[in-house]
């Protein structure tokens, strides 16, 4: 269930990414910029370490492509400085050769990945996709329906900012409903997914727990999040 959710929120295809390139070789900057812009992304570039650091600190980016050998300040120092200042933007380091010590140092300074020059553009694109997905999965494992918020990592549920106490089973049921938002779910499907295949009870238990959830989540609030779908079962939605 959790896995499916991560996959869902981490799918950033079609999303515009803001990418910062810190690289002093104009041909490489052009090569990367052209490719990324063709993919619909926004690209910014700086050609020395200090200007790159300043840009990374002052603007939000989804990913930073950082060369190691740079004028004024090298890529390792830029990376270390960004991490020291709690900038968690994913960083892909570009190393001039397949040098193990460069790779190790890059990853030690807080880079997320590295790429050896020369590289194919598709390779870079794949790495950018991977590090931005990783970053997003880490920060936003929460779901919102109208004013109902469900933090899937901390198991905290709130409506209009007011925390709602749920039992573990109630939380599991709610989690299943919201991960399948706007999909009508049969009682049998809910029973199997939330209570497990071995659960021998009547589907009546689903109705009982739906009633508990409604009392806690929907009573006194509009819109009602938990809907009855006639002839099918239940559904969560606005």
3-state secondary structure at position 7: helix
Q: Which stretch binds Ca ion (CB under 5 A): 53-61, 68-76, 120-128, 166-174?
A: 68-76
> What is the C-alpha separation between 213 and 125, in angstroms, rounded?
44
Q: Which helix (H) or strand (E) holds 41?
A: none
Q: Which is nearer to Ca ion, 79 or 174 (CB)?
A: 79
Question: Does 69 participate in binding Ca ion (rule CB under 5 A)?
Answer: yes
Question: Does 99 participate in binding Ca ion (rule CB under 5 A)?
Answer: no
Q: Which stretch binds Ca ion (CB under 5 A): 33-41, 43-51, 59-67, 84-92?
A: 59-67
Question: Does 48 participate in binding Ca ion (rule CB under 5 A)?
Answer: no
3-state secondary structure at position 20: strand
Let me know: does 36 contact 64? Beta carbons within 8 Å: no
Q: Which stretch binds Ca ion (CB under 5 A): 54-62, 69-77, 97-105, 219-227?
A: 69-77
Per-residue b or e along 200-227, where b marks 16 or more CB atoms closer than 10 Å to that residue's CB: eeebebbeebbeebeebbbeeeeeebbb
Q: What sign does the CA torsion over 110, 24, 21, 100 have?
A: negative
Let me know: does 123 contact 129? Beta carbons within 8 Å: no
Q: Which stretch binds Ca ion (CB under 5 A): 16-24, 129-137, 141-149, 159-167?
A: 16-24
Q: Which is nearer to Ca ion, 66 or 152 (CB)?
A: 66
Q: DSSP per residue over 85-114, as a string?
A: TT----EEEEESS--HHHHHHHHHTT-SEE
Q: Which is nearer to Ca ion, 124 or 178 (CB)?
A: 124
Q: Which is nearer to Ca ion, 67 or 175 (CB)?
A: 67
In the complex, the smallest distance separating the C-beta of residue 70 from Ca ion, rounded to whole angstroms, is 6
In the complex, the smallest distance separating the C-beta of residue 52 from Ca ion, rounded to whole angstroms, is 11
Question: Does 24 participate in binding Ca ion (rule CB under 5 A)?
Answer: yes
Pairing of strands 18-22, 42-46: parallel
In the complex, the smallest distance separating the C-beta of residue 110 from Ca ion, rounded to whole angstroms, is 19
> What is the C-alpha separation between 67 and 73, in angstroms, rounded?
11
The residue number with the shortest CB distance to Ca ion is 69
Question: Does 112 participate in binding Ca ion (rule CB under 5 A)?
Answer: no
In the complex, the smallest distance separating the C-beta of residue 49 from Ca ion, rounded to whole angstroms, is 10
In the complex, the smallest distance separating the C-beta of residue 122 from Ca ion, rounded to whole angstroms, is 22
In the complex, the smallest distance separating the C-beta of residue 113 from Ca ion, rounded to whole angstroms, is 18
Question: Does 67 participate in binding Ca ion (rule CB under 5 A)?
Answer: yes
Which residue has tokens 């960083």? Answer: 91
* Positions that interact with Ca ion (CB under 5 A): 24, 67, 69
């Amino acid at each position: 269930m959790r896995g499916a959710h991560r996959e869902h929120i981490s799918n950033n295809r079609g999303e515009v990414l803001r990418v910062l390139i810190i690289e002093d070789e104009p041909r490489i900057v052009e090569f990367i910029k052209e490719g990324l812009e063709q993919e619909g992304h926004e690209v910014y570039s700086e050609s020395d370490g200090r200007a790159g650091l300043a840009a990374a600190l002052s603007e939000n980016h989804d990913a930073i492509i950082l060369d190691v050998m740079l004028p004024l300040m090298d890529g390792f120092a830029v990376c270390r400085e960004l991490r020291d200042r709690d900038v968690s933007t994913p960083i892909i380091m570009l190393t001039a050769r397949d040098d193990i010590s460069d790779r190790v140092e890059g990853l030690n300074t807080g880079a997320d990945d590295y790429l050896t020059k020369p590289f194919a553009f598709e390779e870079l694109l794949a790495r950018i996709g991977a590090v931005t997905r990783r970053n997003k999965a880490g920060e936003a494992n929460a779901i919102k329906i109208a004013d109902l918020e469900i933090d899937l990592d901390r198991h905290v549920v709130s409506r209009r900012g007011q925390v709602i106490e749920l039992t573990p089973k109630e939380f599991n049921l709610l989690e299943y409903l919201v991960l399948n938002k706007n999909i009508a779910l049969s009682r049998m499907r809910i029973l199997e997914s939330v209570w497990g295949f071995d659960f021998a009870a009547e589907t009546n238990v689903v109705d009982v727990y739906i009633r508990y959830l409604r009392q806690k989540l929907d009573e006194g609030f509009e819109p009602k999040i938990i809907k009855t779908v006639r002839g099918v079962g239940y559904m969560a939605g606005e």
